Amino acid sequence: MFSFAYQFSKPILWGWIFFIVLGSLSIWLANYWLGISTAIELRKISRERLSLYDATLLGELDKYRYLPFVLSGNEDVKELLTSFRRDPFFANKVSKYLAEMNNKAEANVLYIMDKKGSTLASSNWQDKTSFVGHNYSFRPYFQDAIEGREGRFFAIGTISGIPGFFMSHPVYEDSSIIGVAVVKVNLTPLQQQWNDGGENVFITDENSVIFLASKKDWLYKSLRRIPLEQLQKLQQIKQYGTSNFDILDINHVSVPGDLATEIEGRRYLETTQEIANTNWKIHYLVSINSITENQRTIVAIGIGVVVILLVLALFIRERRQKVISTRRALEAEKMEDMNRQLEIEIEERRRTEKELRAAQDGLVQAGKLAALGQMSAAIAYEINQPIAAIQNDVSNCVSYLKNQNDQQLNNSLNEISSLTEKMGMITAQLKNFARKSSMKTRPVDIVKAINRAGYLMQPVFNTQAVRLEINIASKTILVSGDEIRLEQVFVNLYRNAIDAMKTTQGEKVITINTSVTGQQVNVTVSDTGTGLEEHVVKKLYDPFFTTKLNSESLGLGLSITYGIIKDLKGEIQASNNPDGGACFVLSFPHYIEK
């Protein structure tokens, strides 16, 4: 599994917050929309149901509406109402007729009242709760009929205690009212039907008293407080028996997109409709449980989706993180490998460099030896001369000694001394030249190196009739280096110049010019030799490149020179003089003493 212990960067944290807010908003909107749409749907269904119940109720009442009218036209009824004797047998006969009618019509009770409201005949004349002999003049339906109108009234029976709808019609005899015919319709089965159907329906009268309800508990309760005057009137006409007209525990609460009615703690959507030709109102209640259930479902689904998306996002993030860390680990491993490889390569390079340096030192040494070889003839000549002179002087000294010529002896000994000194200088220089360099750098006077190289090469210059012309910018010019190696550079350049001038006619001159420009020391070595051919310039510094055919020329001179100059952080450039001969320009960083 994955861990949630993430370190979120700021943009990612905002992304999560945005996602959660958006998710919550979507759930809330879906919840609201579902509430509205379910309420609209329920309202539609409620209206349809309401119309149906209204029609059923009216149909039920209309079914019996004709009965009082039919009774009012019956001759026996009229005779009963007009006879003074009030014959009980005749009254029973009429009651029997009424009972038959009632059976056929399936009404509740049919009865006839005289002008004063006393019941003369009734379909229930044989029952314990017979209406016969009772006076109902206080009932509004009687009062309506006696005044020539059709009466309509819902009330609880004063004797039977059974609620019913009373419909009355006046009975005429020669256009004067002699009594009233009444049918009582029992609406209890209708209530039962509603109850059986699991519906919540009730009907209120003009006082907002519930007189028909699918729930018995609601019966004869009022939706609002009844004014005292009205209450007294209700008690007087005994419409709802001894009812207290308690107020139904009813509240109105708002739900998404609608207003719900809360009755005894339960919430309903209430739809009402006036019942035609009455002061009644039919109320249809549908539980909003389905709304809340749907909403709960959608909220649960929404939360589930958001949570799944969150978990999925975290999972994807975790996977990505893993891929990234694996990739990073691989990259780190690769880097480590590369580093190791690099270290090996650096080590290799160092070793090669060391070897190269050793090889170069070897080459310098070889070059020196080659130069020594080449120079040996000239040196031998140069040394032979003083030796011959010394021999001569020595023999002269012997004769001076014999003749006691002290002055001459002294002169000869002085000459011998100066000749040996010269020879000593030559050999000392050669020793110096042949010695291996220490590789250590220190401030060195380049003018000295130029002169010493000239001095070293002097015997060769003499034999080859070469003139060395040195033009120096100042007495000492310091560069950072090693004097032996620097000397070697000039010896090599002089040697090459001498070789290049061997075959040329005219004066053989090597000209040295030094200059100091800012931080740089420049030395030009030019000769009056053959100059450099183009193909030679390209390979000039290549080791073992030579155009000379003699066995002493190894082709190492310039490559060694180049290496030394580079070691001293200098540059060398070769070109030809405009009036012939080669010209080498050397430049070194100027060493300035602090």
Closest Cα to residue 586, out of 498, 460, 488, 501? 488
Binding residues among 528-547 for ligand ADP as defined by CB under 6 A: 529-532, 536, 540, 545-547
Question: Tokens for 365?
Answer: 């040494």
Select from 64-72, 107-115, 475-483, 493-501 the region that touches ligand ADP (CB under 6 A). Answer: 493-501
Is residue 496 part of the contact set for ligand ADP (CB under 6 A)? yes
Selected binder of ligand ADP within 365, 548, 580, 589 (CB under 6 A)? 548
User: Shortest distance, CB of residue 362 to ligand ADP, whole angstroms?
Assistant: 16
For 113, which DSSP code? E
Select from 29-37, 141-149, 293-301, 548-556 the region that touches ligand ADP (CB under 6 A). Answer: 548-556
Between residues 408 and 576, which has the closer beta carbon with respect to ligand ADP? 576
For 18-24, the CB contacts below 8 A with 24+ separation are 19/309, 19/310, 19/313, 20/306, 20/310, 23/302, 23/305, 23/306, 23/309, 24/306
Selected binder of ligand ADP within 484, 554, 564, 568 (CB under 6 A)? 554
Alpha-carbon distance 171 to 174, whole Å?
10
User: Shortest distance, CB of residue 391 to ligand ADP, whole angstroms?
Assistant: 36
Between residues 34 and 501, which has the closer beta carbon with respect to ligand ADP? 501
Select from 30-38, 69-77, 122-130, 555-563 the region that touches ligand ADP (CB under 6 A). Answer: 555-563
Q: Which residues are CB-contacts of 8 (< 8 A; sequence separation ≥ 6)?
A: 16
> Strands 176-185 and 508-517, how do they pair?
unpaired
Select from 245-253, 284-292, 322-330, 522-530 the region that touches ligand ADP (CB under 6 A). Answer: 522-530
Count of residues that bind ligand ADP according to CB under 6 A = 23
Selected binder of ligand ADP within 185, 497, 523, 564 (CB under 6 A)? 497
Is residue 582 part of the contact set for ligand ADP (CB under 6 A)? yes
Between residues 98 and 497, which has the closer beta carbon with respect to ligand ADP? 497
Closest Cα to residue 247, out of 259, 261, 263, 234? 263
For 217, which DSSP code? G
**Residue 527: its H or E element:** strand 520-527
| DSSP-derived 3-state class of residue 565 | helix
The phi and psi torsions of 383 (rounded to 5 degrees) equal: -80, -35
Select from 206-214, 405-413, 448-456, 494-502 the region that touches ligand ADP (CB under 6 A). Answer: 494-502
> Strands 508-517 and 466-471, how do they pair?
parallel
Selected binder of ligand ADP within 553, 577, 589, 590 (CB under 6 A)? 553
User: Shortest distance, CB of residue 577 to ligand ADP, whole angstroms?
Assistant: 10
How distant, in Å, are the alpha carbons of 392, 412, 465 from that of 388? 6, 13, 22
Between residues 145 and 489, which has the closer beta carbon with respect to ligand ADP? 489
Between residues 256 and 531, which has the closer beta carbon with respect to ligand ADP? 531
Between residues 334 and 502, which has the closer beta carbon with respect to ligand ADP? 502
Binding residues among 453-492 for ligand ADP as defined by CB under 6 A: 492
Is residue 558 part of the contact set for ligand ADP (CB under 6 A)? yes
Is residue 576 part of the contact set for ligand ADP (CB under 6 A)? no
Q: Length of the chain, please?
A: 594
User: Shortest distance, CB of residue 565 to ligand ADP, whole angstroms?
Assistant: 13
User: Shortest distance, CB of residue 536 to ligand ADP, whole angstroms?
Assistant: 5
Is residue 444 part of the contact set for ligand ADP (CB under 6 A)? no
Binding residues among 274-333 for ligand ADP as defined by CB under 6 A: none
Alpha-carbon distance 176 to 196, whole Å?
47
Alpha-carbon distance 499 to 489, whole Å?
16
Q: What is the dihedral of CA 116, 118, 122, 125, to 10 degrees?
A: -160
The phi and psi torsions of 349 (rounded to 5 degrees) equal: -60, -45
Is residue 555 part of the contact set for ligand ADP (CB under 6 A)? yes
User: Shortest distance, CB of residue 430 to ligand ADP, whole angstroms?
Assistant: 19
Selected binder of ligand ADP within 500, 521, 523, 565 (CB under 6 A)? 500
Q: Which residues are CB-contacts of 287 (< 8 A; sequence separation ≥ 6)?
A: 200, 266, 267, 268
**Residue 271: its H or E element:** strand 266-274
Is residue 378 part of the contact set for ligand ADP (CB under 6 A)? no
Is residue 527 part of the contact set for ligand ADP (CB under 6 A)? yes
Cβ(552)–Cβ(370) below 8 Å = yes
Alpha-carbon distance 27 to 241, whole Å?
53
Cβ(145)–Cβ(132) below 8 Å = no
Is residue 511 part of the contact set for ligand ADP (CB under 6 A)? no
Half-sphere exposure of 484 (CA within 13 A, CB side): 17
User: Shortest distance, CB of residue 460 to ligand ADP, whole angstroms?
Assistant: 13
Select from 146-154, 438-446, 451-459, 526-534 the region that touches ligand ADP (CB under 6 A). Answer: 526-534
Between residues 71 and 500, which has the closer beta carbon with respect to ligand ADP? 500
Question: Tokens for 406?
Answer: 């002290």
User: Shortest distance, CB of residue 394 to ligand ADP, whole angstroms?
Assistant: 40
Is residue 557 part of the contact set for ligand ADP (CB under 6 A)? yes
Closest Cα to residue 58, out of 216, 283, 278, 218? 278
List contacts with ligand ADP (CB under 6 A).
492, 496-497, 500, 527, 529-532, 536, 540, 545-548, 553-559, 582
